[in-house]
Amino acid sequence: MPPSFRLSSDQLTSVRQNTQWRDLFSALQIEKEPKKSKDTDWWGKSPFRPQENTASFHMNSRGWYCHATGQGGGPIELVQRLHAGMSCYDAGRWLLEHGVSRIVDEVREDVAEAAATPGDPTHNPPIRQDLRSRLVSSHSEFETRGIPPSTLEELGAGYLEREPRKNGKIDPMNRRLVFQIRSLRLNAAESLAPVVVGHMGR
């Protein structure tokens, strides 16, 4: 992620909602207590009191609470309190840079949002700009995970890097690993066909 990248309030909300709490627990190197922990609830030694011997720190999908200090909250608040002086936007960047969250952002560039189909609130129209032709398969994250270019091409995934927008607006997909959000639509032959309804970047 480029140093100049600044999250919008909507993107910060997306980061909060998409944080993987188990990955965050591990990224913070919190020592897990296996006897006390369950699959949906993890306990560990407090990152605020590293000298303590008891597992007083609790985390699950709803948030975290430190019994040693009486503090609690969500992922952004946890990162802020462990890094003095960090703003909520800096904390959001930290979560993205450490791979424990992502921004889910459908791309609608230079066009107005298509109006929802009357009587069909679940309808998602196909995107008007398909990024697949701009994606490249060469990126260390793909290589580390052993994902070959042929698989990325089949999935329509890759790394996007392009010139900044001339209007100065933030490009949420630029310099990110981009994946498709797909759906099915009836084609002219009345059979289901896959369509791309959005892109997700991380």
Please give the pLDDT value at position 175. 75
Range list for CATH 3.90.580.10 in the chain: 9-97
Q: Provide the 8-state DSSP code for 129.
A: S
Residue among 182, 200, 184 nearest 192 (CA): 184
Please give the pLDDT value at position 130. 65
Residue among 74, 65, 66, 69 nearest 92 (CA): 74
Please give the pLDDT value at position 25. 95
Average pLDDT for 36-60: 92
CB atoms near residue 120 (< 10 Å): 8
| Range ranked top by mean pLDDT from 42-56, 107-121, 141-155 | 42-56
25's CB contacts (< 8 A; 6+ apart) are: 32, 42, 44, 59
Average pLDDT for 22-37: 93
> What is the value of pTM for the model shown?
0.52
Average pLDDT for 39-56: 92
Superfamily of segment(s) 9-97: Zinc finger, CHC2-typedomain (3.90.580.10)
